């Protein structure tokens, strides 16, 4: 017997590079792949179709065809079968500005424009640096001057008159601008080697996370003044703002801590080896990487902070939701609360959806390992 014949073979070639085969992209192909790929999916697709056919005409008739778009006193709405969008047209000033003095509304509009404008600018990653944070602080100051007045010939407007969208946006901005640095400090503090700092950070984080926001706001508005000497009073809005900042920071600190833990030890080694101090390596090496990783999770907290601004209405501040509720106390319009609330719903939805979509795009870039 000779040696067994060799089975293993490989074929050397010289094959040129070429593009991948095209995927079928026709509509019927898409329908088949996504809606009718098997019996189970086909049944589900048909059921959804039936549900849509049953629901959509009714909704369209109520919301569009039979709806009343304008009516100065709501009379036209009383006889109509559809929605009364006139309530939005009549009450939007109150919804958007609450009790803010009518003739000073331009200041409110300017505040809204400044905050939204800077938020949009912040979305461009090429502007991301510590300077952007300074810009937020600068805008915060400008916004406060605009709202409060009393300088530059602006009429003074007390915080008890603030309301509506400027108040909502200001509370939101104050929460994030104030809470974000506090979150970073708490996260670093929790990892500190100094026991006192570590204990303080853990204590603040855990206590705050252990109580509901409503309780924090009640403590800030009702109990906190009891502990202060009588002559010292802190504005109710400011107290609520501080409560919201601490609440936001406690949650965000845990998110940031997750990012800090994702930094490999080698990064600290390299920073130490080239002679960077703790603060240099923290601000230039550790935090820029840790924060990038946690942006999606942080956006989650930021969106929640936006929605949490509605809680201030329970301590008597008129944010958008509170102002809407107040506007609907008008007996002529009280019946049309659903339409007004749908408008507010849409307003919140647009803000939250754009933040969430933005977060998705950041996440996509992170996944591709792109640098920004």
Residue 369 touching another protein (CB under 8 A): yes
**Residue 318: beta bridge partners?**
163
* Contacting residue, 32, 125, 155, 284, with another protein by CB under 8 A: 284
* Contacting residue, 9, 28, 79, 371, with another protein by CB under 8 A: 371
State whether residue 134 is helix, strand or coil: helix
Exposure of 43 in the CB half-sphere (CA atoms within 13 A): 2
Residue 270 touching another protein (CB under 8 A): yes
Q: Whole-number minimum distance, CB 192 to another protein, in Å? A: 17
Q: How many whole angstroms separate alpha carbon 244 and alpha carbon 348?
A: 18
Q: How many whole angstroms separate alpha carbon 160 and alpha carbon 272?
A: 52
* Contacting residue, 16, 273, 329, 367, with another protein by CB under 8 A: 273
* Contacting residue, 120, 132, 274, 350, with another protein by CB under 8 A: 274
Q: Which residues contact 183 (CB under 8 A, 6 or more apart)?
A: 248, 249, 250, 251, 252, 253, 255, 256
Residue 363 touching another protein (CB under 8 A): no
Residue 277 touching another protein (CB under 8 A): yes
Q: How many whole angstroms separate alpha carbon 272 and alpha carbon 109?
A: 49
By beta-carbon proximity to another protein, the closer residue of 69 and 278 is: 278
By beta-carbon proximity to another protein, the closer residue of 19 and 266 is: 266
Quote the Cα angle for 280-282-284, to 5°. Answer: 65
Residue 280 touching another protein (CB under 8 A): yes
Beta carbons of 64 and 55 less than 8 angstroms apart: no
By beta-carbon proximity to another protein, the closer residue of 18 and 265 is: 265
Q: How big is the site for another protein, counted in residues (CB under 8 A)?
A: 20
Q: Which of residues 292-311 bind another protein (CB under 8 A)?
A: 292
Quickly list DSSP for 155-168.
PP--GGG-EHHHHH
Instruction: Give the residue from 83, 61, 64 showing the smallest Cα distance to 74.
Output: 83
Q: Whole-number minimum distance, CB 265 to another protein, in Å? A: 9
Q: Whole-number minimum distance, CB 126 to another protein, in Å? A: 14
Q: How many other CB atoms are there within 10 angstroms of residue 307's CB atom?
A: 13
Residue 366 touching another protein (CB under 8 A): no
By beta-carbon proximity to another protein, the closer residue of 21 and 266 is: 266
The interface mask with another protein, positions 203-222, x = CB under 8 A, is --------------------
State whether residue 72 is helix, strand or coil: coil
Q: Which residues would be at the binding site for another protein (CB under 8 A)?
A: 264, 266-267, 269-277, 280, 284-285, 288-289, 292, 369, 371
């Amino acid at each position: 017997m000779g040696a067994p014949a060799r089975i293993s073979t490989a074929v050397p070639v010289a094959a040129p590079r070429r593009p991948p085969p095209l995927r079928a992209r026709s509509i019927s192909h898409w329908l088949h792949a996504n809606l009718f790929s098997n019996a189970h999916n086909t049944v589900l697709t048909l059921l959804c179709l039936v549900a849509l056919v049953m629901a959509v005409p009714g909704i369209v008739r109520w919301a569009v065809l039979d709806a009343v778009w304008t009516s100065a006193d709501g009379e036209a709405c009383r006889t109509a079968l559809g929605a009364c969008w006139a309530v939005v047209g009549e009450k939007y000033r109150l919804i958007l500005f609450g009790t803010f003095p009518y003739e000073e509304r331009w200041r409110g509009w300017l505040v809204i424009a400044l905050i939204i404008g800077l938020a949009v600018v912040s979305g461009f990653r090429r502007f991301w640096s510590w300077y952007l944070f300074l810009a937020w602080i600068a805008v915060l100051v400008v916004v406060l001057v605009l709202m409060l007045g009393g300088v530059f010939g602006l009429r003074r407007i007390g915080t008890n008159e603030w309301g509506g969208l400027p108040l909502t946006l200001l509370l939101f901005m104050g929460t994030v601008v104030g809470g974000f640095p506090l979150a970073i400090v708490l996260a670093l503090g929790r990892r500190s080697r100094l026991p006192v700092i570590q204990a303080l950070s853990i204590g603040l984080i855990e206590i705050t996370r252990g109580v509901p926001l409503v309780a924090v706001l009640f403590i800030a508005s009702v109990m906190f003044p009891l502990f202060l000497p009588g002559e010292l009073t802190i504005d109710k809005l400011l107290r609520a703002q501080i409560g919201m900042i601490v609440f936001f920071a406690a949650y965000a600190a845990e998110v940031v801590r997750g990012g800090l833990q994702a930094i490999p030890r080698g990064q600290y080694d390299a920073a130490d080896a080239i002679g960077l101090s703790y603060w240099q390596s923290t601000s230039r090496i550790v935090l820029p990487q840790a924060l990038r990783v946690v942006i999606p999770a942080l956006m989650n907290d930021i969106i929640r902070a936006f929605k949490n601004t509605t809680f201030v209405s329970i301590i008597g501040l008129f944010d958008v939701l509170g102002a809407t509720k107040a506007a609907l106390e008008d007996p002529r319009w009280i019946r049309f609360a659903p339409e007004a609330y749908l408008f507010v719903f849409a307003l919140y939805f647009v803000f939250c959806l754009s933040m969430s979509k933005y977060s998705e795009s950041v996440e996509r870039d992170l996944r591709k390992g792109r640098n920004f």
